[in-house]
Amino acid sequence: MPARLRPILVTLGLLLSSVPELEAAHNLLFSEHPIASSGMYFPEYVFAADMDNDNDLDVLATSLGLPNRLVWFENTGGSDRFGSQQVIDAPWEYAPSVVRADLNNDDEPDMLSIEYADGTIAWYANEGGTLGARQEIGPVAAGYWSLFAEDLDNDGDLDVLAASIDDGTIVWYANTDGQGSFEFRQTINTAADGSWSVFVLDLDNDGDPDVLAAGYADGSIAWHANTDGKGAFGPRQVIYSAEDGAASEFQVDLDNDGDLDVLAASTASDSGQGTIFWQENTDGLGALGRQQVIATSLYGACSVFAADLDNDGDMDVLSAALMENKIAWYENLYSRPVAKAGDDRTVQEGVKVTLDGSGSSDTSGAIPWSWVQTDGPDVTLRSPNTARPYFNAPQVDAAGAKLTFTLTITNSQGITASDSLDVTVTNQPKAPVAKAGDDRTVAGGTAVSLDGSASEAGEGSITAWAWAQSAGTPVTLIDADKATASFTAPEVGGADETLSFTLTVTNSAGLSSSDSLTITLQDSAGGDDSGGSGDDTGGGETGGSSNVDSVGSGSSSGGGGGCALSPSAGLGLDWLLLLAPAVLARLRRPRRAS
């Protein structure tokens, strides 16, 4: 059984006055959470095990008041943590000690029990979640009270250790085949006046398991060294004795400093008032600090257990108070700070992102913060040694990117806690920029090209072009769905005319943009082409003295009645070129003598 599941049962009247008390370096705080205060009659033994194979520790308890009473409480993980009690149909009459351990190496926890009335030790195989047939390990004697399962001979399977509360006898049985076949090995002790509880740990750091036992009548804590690593145990060595009653201790690292501390419970023999306390291993070598009370005023405190019940990385305490019919657990609040980096989130590229670790806590005081980026595109994290650092989300492609940040806080004892969060940065699709071109002026009747090829896609590429006329004389647009469209400008007479066109582009992200331009049309003739026709009705020269060199509009009544040209006639260049030969011929004709 792993160290975190090792129980400690504590008898009445524990006094540890003989243990020198040193100043403690760590001052732990615990919060009480009741599990059961009704329906359990005289709970005497509690321990933790994963009863439903969901990777958390549930609570099991035995009752002194009801025969066959074995119950368990599921660890639900909710705010109340443990559910209501569930009764296990136990096949024994009265078992003061029950252990859950894999005795046949099938990776399923079996049930080991000891029956107080006749001292029989038996185990029950786990057969698909139900208890199999009773298999006796060995008859002992009436009064056996405490059990423990551990590999005492280092052969890879679990053996069984048992102790009698009546005469203090401690015995162990070897698991000979690893399948649950047991045979008696050794009577370890008969010297103690009643052994209330036993458990196993390596006290002399030689790599093999030793036995630790609590005496009932003399209040002693003693141990037996495993002398050969194969289960040959040496004589009883008393660690300390109390003045009244019996005592038991449990060694566990409660303050996470790498050494084993002492966890214990006591009940005064005169008042019955119980206390749960712990003592720090101040130097790592067994020098115990002062008693630090976890809970008090527990009448008949008879069982404690240490395990990480809330899966937060530190050891919590489980207890039973016999006279109060109460089972409770005590959450270890101080041994480890709590880092909370905040919830994962999704943001858009380019925005300012502020991280928030202000939900972190540590009972020792001010928190030194340390934020680091551990994954994703590199960003510059500002104020990383505060609760609320910030950064600018990077530009990302359409796939986006995930950035991971880790917050680490360290308490005054140098114990750290970390938490991480992911910030997913999404791509903000960019709209295209339509560019229809510059406004311009053209002559009527000419071919006009509209060019939007300078447009920008923004995100991806431009997938659609759409030219449309929005004002002016309607024209027929050619290739209106392409980057470059064209049309023939209509003829205009006299005043200029304006045509307006709009280009709309759409990109692969489905975003659109529009731009417009204006085309101004001018008269293709440049002016009025209706100059005078001349009515050459002179019939001959009558002696008029004038020579025709002016341009007019209408008939000439003098001289020979010719066609006059006037600069004000406003004729176009084409007409001037057409009339030029005739004019020149007329001017060259010889003049008659008067």
Q: Are residues 295 and 408 in the same domain?
A: no
Q: Are residues 169 and 316 in the same domain?
A: yes
DSSP letter (8 states) at residue 361:
B
**Residue 403 · residue 375 · CB < 8 Å:** yes
**Residue 389 · residue 383 · CB < 8 Å:** yes
Q: Are residues 313 and 379 in the same domain?
A: no
Give the dihedral sign, CA 101/103/105/106.
negative
Distance CA 206, CA 159 (A): 19
pTM over 0.85, yes/no: no
Give me the pLDDT at residue 405, please: 97
Distance CA 326, CA 341 (A): 37
Nearest to 502 by CA among 491, 485, 492, 514: 514
Q: Are residues 169 and 306 in the same domain?
A: yes
- The DSSP result for 306-336, as a single string, is EE-TTSSSS-EEEEEEGGGTEEEEEEE-SSS
Q: Work out the mean pLDDT of the chain and round it to a whole number.
A: 77
Residue 551 pLDDT level (bands cut at 50, 70, 90): very low
Q: Are residues 207 and 322 in the same domain?
A: yes
Give me the pLDDT at residue 442, please: 92
Which of 10-19, 163-172, 352-361 has the weakest average pLDDT? 10-19
**Residue 269 · residue 10 · CB < 8 Å:** no
Distance CA 587, CA 19 (A): 147
Distance CA 456, CA 226 (A): 83
Give me the pLDDT at residue 398, please: 83
Distance CA 13, CA 42 (A): 18
- Higher-confidence residue: 580 or 321? 321
Decide which of 426, 459, 493 is a domain's last residue.
426
Domain presence at residue 584:
no
Distance CA 63, CA 101 (A): 20
Helices (H), 357-444: none
Residue 189 has pLDDT above 90, yes or no: no
- The DSSP result for 303-314, as a single string, is EEEEE-TTSSSS
Q: Are residues 409 and 451 in the same domain?
A: no
Residue 258 pLDDT level (bands cut at 50, 70, 90): confident
Domain presence at residue 416:
yes
Angle at 135 between CA 47 and CA 7, to 5 degrees: 15
With tokens 């939007």, the residue in question is 452
Give me the pLDDT at residue 563, please: 39
pLDDT tens digits for range 80-89: 788 888 877 6
Nearest to 504 by CA among 478, 481, 520: 481
Decide which of 502, 522, 542 is a domain's last residue.
522
pLDDT tens digits for range 273-311: 788 888 888 776 667 788 889 988 887 777 888 999 998
Domain presence at residue 115:
yes
Distance CA 102, CA 111 (A): 8
Q: Are residues 157 and 177 in the same domain?
A: yes
Distance CA 272, CA 324 (A): 11
Strand stretches in 64-116, DSSP E: 69-75, 82-89, 97-101, 110-114
Burial of 128 (0-12, 13-18, 19+ CB in 10 A): exposed
Domain presence at residue 531:
no
Domain presence at residue 91:
yes
Q: How many residues are present in the chain?
A: 594
Q: Are residues 414 and 448 in the same domain?
A: no
**Residue 332 · residue 343 · CB < 8 Å:** no
Most confident by average pLDDT, 180-189, 210-219, 396-405, 558-567: 396-405
Q: Are residues 358 and 327 in the same domain?
A: no
Domain presence at residue 417:
yes
Decide which of 285, 312, 334 is a domain's last residue.
334
φ, ψ for residue 134 (rounded to 5)? -65, 130
Q: Are residues 256 and 388 in the same domain?
A: no
Task: Tell me which H or E stretch contains 574.
Answer: helix 573-588
CATH number at residue 502: 2.60.40.10
- Start-to-end Cα distance in the chain: 152
Give me the pLDDT at residue 548, please: 32
Q: Are residues 129 and 74 in the same domain?
A: yes
Nearest to 497 by CA among 478, 530, 524: 524
pLDDT tens digits for range 485-504: 999 999 887 788 999 999 99
Distance CA 419, CA 359 (A): 11
Residue 408 pLDDT level (bands cut at 50, 70, 90): very high
Give me the pLDDT at residue 554, please: 39
Domain that holds residue 178: 43-334
CATH number at residue 58: 2.120.10.10
Burial of 20 (0-12, 13-18, 19+ CB in 10 A): exposed
Distance CA 581, CA 575 (A): 11
Overall average pLDDT of the 112-138 stretch: 82
Residue 195 pLDDT level (bands cut at 50, 70, 90): low
Domain presence at residue 401:
yes
CB count in 10 Å sphere of residue 50:
14
483 torsion bin: left (phi>0), alpha (psi -120 to 50), beta (else): alpha
CA distances from 344 to 335, 375, 420, 424 (A): 27, 14, 9, 8
Domain presence at residue 64:
yes
Domain count of the chain?
A: 3
CA distances from 560 to 343, 405, 537, 547 (A): 107, 106, 7, 9
Q: Are residues 414 and 478 in the same domain?
A: no
**Residue 313 · residue 339 · CB < 8 Å:** no
Give me the pLDDT at residue 580, please: 59
Amino acid at position 567, single letter: P
